[in-house]
Structure 1
Amino acid sequence: MNTVINWVIDTLNATAVSGFVMDNAYVFPFLEMMHFVGLCLLFGALIVVDLRVVGFAKAVPINRVEVFVRFALIGFAINLLSGALFVVGNSDRYLVNIAFWAKMGVIFVAGLNTAYFVRRIKPQMDSGIPSEELTKGAHVVAWLSLALWTSVIFLGRFIPYVEDL
């Protein structure tokens, strides 16, 4: 396994993208700022949607919070791009880091939760039914979403402080 990871690290380190990210004094800080902006869009939008699904702000029709889903998707796209550039640029830091792999695992589970939300819960929201009439599963999905994305934030903050696998 280590030989595969070492081969991937060596391959990524040899790319022009890696050099661009790591050798330019402005690129990595810019990516960090963009990652933070993406995080704010993603998590901020999810807080609005998930808390509305569980019953907060009942005066707001549940189908009106759908616009925030778009902001969450934009934030996720920004983080996906900036995060991929972090990994390519500094692969020997990330690909051997247990906090990074834990974060990727939690993001995968959050993605499955989101897929369930889109397939099962969003159609209920689109119909305009009140949050009290959403299925019990909708509340579980919303609370799980908040817990998973909070975990992603915490694990991301651990990456600089955790070493090799």
Structure 2
Amino acid sequence: AVHQSVPEQADWREEIVSRSPLMAALLEQAYRVAQRDVSILITGASGTGKELLAKAIHKASPRAKQHFVAINCGALPEHLLESELFGHSKGAFTGAVSEHGGLFREADGGTLFLDEIGDMPVALQVKLLRALQERQIRPVGSSKSIPINVRVLSATHRDLQQAMAEGSFREDLYYR
């Protein structure tokens, strides 16, 4: 097997400055998983650079030339978060005066970063799981599904094992 080493001063991790051996090991692992087109969950305390790591993973991935789109799942009410992620059709709800594509479509071909996924309401977790499994989305108010090609990176400061035990985070989404 060919072993590909992590470039020392590569631009994929230019925003992350560290001399820590633990951080070097983390970055090496991040580089390796960046090469695989899989969903990734990044955990850590608030302010520890989870989004920086997600951006570095995107930059090191085959999707690097496509969009990196981020949203904080805890910053919006459920109905707005659903519309932001999946889009909506004109007239889907009061104030929907035009069609909105949504972040999944904006990130098509690239990476969608779901920050604080542990704050996402359970009802939206179901819709997200369906999108990940079927590789398509259905905008709010639409009867048509739209194919998507998006890598999803997620982050949280929450203990999702505990959240699953409490019923506030779906186990099937966790393992997706």
Scaled by the length of structure 1, the TM-score of the pair is 0.28
Relative to its length, the structure with more strand (as a share) is: 2
Q: Which has the higher helix share?
A: 1
Larger radius of gyration: 1
TM-score by length of 2: 0.27
